[in-house]
């Protein structure tokens, strides 16, 4: 049986020219068609995967007071803990709790003439009661970054570009982000996270053994049920923009597990530098004729300026952070609810 969401083995990249060529063709087809695939052969071990899920489980088991002490609303960089129902997607609350972690850097000093997104740079918030969490999650972030870079290079090759075609827009100062997420059981099928596209280049997601993730395909929702040992990869808006819509950032969502169950996931969003502008790559003629142009949603404009795009989506998702730290920007056109 062929699956709608295929399994691709990254190890094929290093198995000789003919295997590599068919891998790149399969990668391009998967990314263009459904925009989602399972990645095997990525080199991250089962015990590393179990380790990060167990770290996530330990975090969510902390008393509420420990988690709320590092609430995201404290952070103008959108880092930290969001309680269940605290994030909005499509204007509606998501039934999940999560910890957001970005790249750890010193905040930039406030300069009114600097673009607003410069306020996104800064430290993470870590729970005092779980001192080992920082190293565990940053180690995961580093490992998955390596896989994401290999994949992005493969995407460049598959579009007939040099391997390093995207390098200048992420190297030195990338803006990766990851989360640990818990979907508590409740009214099965309700909004765990509402339908959305991801904003970066690529998302690499580790899910536990529980179902709930779905991708939109041809107007229907298709289950992306867990396959042990794989990561789920999907295309983000930056790759859609760069490829003039040849590659698709696909809409996806997570539904609430049944009462008594819970689902854990660890998404990693591979992003570009905040100061980058997304180039339009020149596709070979046979691909260019199939490029649809990036999907344009008048309610959710996409910006080629990475920092502006990131800030827009953070402000929409976290209105409490927006009110506390970005009140001066609210009311600007691109920040309307989306």
Ligand X SMILES: O=C(O)CCC(=O)C(=O)O
* Binding window for Fe ion (CB under 5 A); candidates: 14-22, 146-154, 192-200, 215-223: 192-200
Burial of 240 (0-12, 13-18, 19+ CB in 10 A): buried
Residue placing its CB nearer to ligand X in the complex, 165 or 233: 233
**If binding is defined by CB under 5 A, does position 100 make contact with Fe ion?**
no
156 and 202 Cβ atoms separated by less than 8 Å: no
42 and 147 Cβ atoms separated by less than 8 Å: yes
Interaction site with ligand X (CB under 6 A): 181, 193, 198, 205, 207, 213, 252, 254, 265, 267
Residue placing its CB nearer to Fe ion in the complex, 122 or 199: 199
Listed residue (185, 207, 204) closest to 143, CA to CA: 204
- Paired strand residues for 120: none
Which pair of tokens denotes residue 237?
Answer: 């808006």
Shortest distance (Å) from residue 180 CB to ligand X: 10
Shortest distance (Å) from residue 235 CB to ligand X: 12
280 and 224 Cβ atoms separated by less than 8 Å: no
Shortest distance (Å) from residue 187 CB to ligand X: 18
Residue placing its CB nearer to ligand X in the complex, 181 or 322: 181
Shortest distance (Å) from residue 334 CB to Fe ion: 20
Shortest distance (Å) from residue 266 CB to ligand X: 8
Listed residue (299, 325, 312, 267) closest to 96, CA to CA: 267
Shortest distance (Å) from residue 96 CB to ligand X: 7
**If binding is defined by CB under 5 A, does position 240 make contact with Fe ion?**
no
Given Fe ion, ligand X, none, residue 254, with its beta carbon under 5 to 8 Å by kind, binds: ligand X
Given Fe ion, ligand X, none, residue 265, with its beta carbon under 5 to 8 Å by kind, binds: ligand X
Over the window 140 to 179, marking each residue x when it contacts Fe ion by CB under 5 A and - when it does not, the resulting string is ----------------------------------------
Residue placing its CB nearer to Fe ion in the complex, 77 or 313: 313
Shortest distance (Å) from residue 7 CB to ligand X: 17
* Binding window for Fe ion (CB under 5 A); candidates: 40-48, 114-122, 198-206, 213-221: 198-206
Shortest distance (Å) from residue 275 CB to Fe ion: 24
Cα separation, 290 vs 197, in Å, equals: 21
The per-residue DSSP string of 151-176 comes to: HHHHHHHHTTS-TTTTHHHHSSS---
- From residue 213, alpha-carbon distances to 161, 177, 183, 186, 247 in Å are 32, 19, 11, 16, 21
Which pair of tokens denotes residue 56?
Answer: 């996530």
Given Fe ion, ligand X, none, residue 207, with its beta carbon under 5 to 8 Å by kind, binds: ligand X
- Centroid of chain to Cα 244: 20
Query: Binding Fe ion by CB under 5 A: which of 136, 198, 208, 237?
Result: 198
Cα separation, 165 vs 67, in Å, equals: 41
Listed residue (139, 140, 167, 138) closest to 152, CA to CA: 167
Q: How far apart are the first and last CA of the chain?
A: 38
Residue placing its CB nearer to ligand X in the complex, 12 or 252: 252
Which positions touch Fe ion (CB under 5 A)? Answer: 198
């Amino acid at each position: 049986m062929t699956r709608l969401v295929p399994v691709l083995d990254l190890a094929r990249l290093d198995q000789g020219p003919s295997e590599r060529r068919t891998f790149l063709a399969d990668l391009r087809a998967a990314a263009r068609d459904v925009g989602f695939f399972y990645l095997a052969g990525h080199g991250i071990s089962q015990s590393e995967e179990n380790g990060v899920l167990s770290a996530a489980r330990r975090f969510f088991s902390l008393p509420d007071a420990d988690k709320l002490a590092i609430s995201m609303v404290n952070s103008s960089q959108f880092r930290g803990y969001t309680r269940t129902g605290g994030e909005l997607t499509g204007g509606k609350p998501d039934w999940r709790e999560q910890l957001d972690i970005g790249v750890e850097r010193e905040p930039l000093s406030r300069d009114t003439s600097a673009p607003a997104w410069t306020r996104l740079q800064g430290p993470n918030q870590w729970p005092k009661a779980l001192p080992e969490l920082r190293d565990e999650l940053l180690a995961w972030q580093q490992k998955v970054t390596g896989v994401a870079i290999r994949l992005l290079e493969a995407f460049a090759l598959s579009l007939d570009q040099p391997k390093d075609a995207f390098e200048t827009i992420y190297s030195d100062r990338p803006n990766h982000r990851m989360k640990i997420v818990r979907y508590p059981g409740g009214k099965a099928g309700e909004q765990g996270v509402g339908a959305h596209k991801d904003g970066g280049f690529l998302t690499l997601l580790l899910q536990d053994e529980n179902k709930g993730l779905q991708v939109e395909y041809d107007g229907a929702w298709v289950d992306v049920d867990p396959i042990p040992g794989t990561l789920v990869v999907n295309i983000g808006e930056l790759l859609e923009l760069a490829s003039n819509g040849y590659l698709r950032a696909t809409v996806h969502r997570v539904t609430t597990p049944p009462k008594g169950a819970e689902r854990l996931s660890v998404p990693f969003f591979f992003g570009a530098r905040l100061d980058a502008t997304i180039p339009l790559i020149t596709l070979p003629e046979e691909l260019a004729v199939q490029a649809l142009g990036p999907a344009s949603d008048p309610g959710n404009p996409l910006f080629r300026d990475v920092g502006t795009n990131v800030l827009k989506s953070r402000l929409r998702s976290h209105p409490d952070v927006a009110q506390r730290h970005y009140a001066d920007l609210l009311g600007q056109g691109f920040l309307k609810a989306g």
